[in-house]
Amino acid sequence: MKRLVACALVVAFCLPLTGCEDFAKNTETTIKMLTVAHDGVITSASIAYKHDRISKKQLLQIRVAGHAFDAVRESAINLLEQYVQLEAQGKDAEAQGIKQTLIDMLPTVRQELGMLRKALSDAKDEYQKLKEGALYEEARLASRS
């Protein structure tokens, strides 16, 4: 799963958007790759929770971060649809404005994905430390008996 997410991120981050012949197609591909990476993080969080590697509270926090990503992604998708419509109608000036907004927005979508991934990583680290501390305390109390 980590390899899939990593590959998706590499493609999404390396896909150049400016100067492309088919901006709409490349933007759609970028959004799809970011969505695959998002889905991978959410799946990883669910698996981590199932295997007792993160708490339910942490899982919910990760899902909240996932919803923030979803909101920004949906905005990008709506803008892309507007761009395609304006291009089809020959409204080049308006389409260029939407295009620039999309170019400016995609780093925010990537940032939200990064925050989601960090939330998962932090949750796993924090929960592991808590479990190790509890096991240490349990062993310390057992050795006193």
Q: Are 61 and 132 in contact (CB under 8 A)?
A: no
Examine the pLDDT at 113 and tell me if it is beyond 90.
Answer: no
Q: What pLDDT was estimated at residue 3?
A: 54
pTM equals 0.69
Q: Are 28 and 12 in contact (CB under 8 A)?
A: no
Under the banding of pLDDT at 50, 70 and 90, the label for residue 140 is low
Mean pLDDT of 125-144: 67
Q: What pLDDT was estimated at residue 80?
A: 94
Q: Kindly report, residue by residue over 9-56, the tens digit of the pLDDT.
A: 444 554 444 444 599 999 999 999 989 988 988 898 888 889 888 888
Q: From CA 64, how far away is CA 100, in angstroms rounded? A: 28
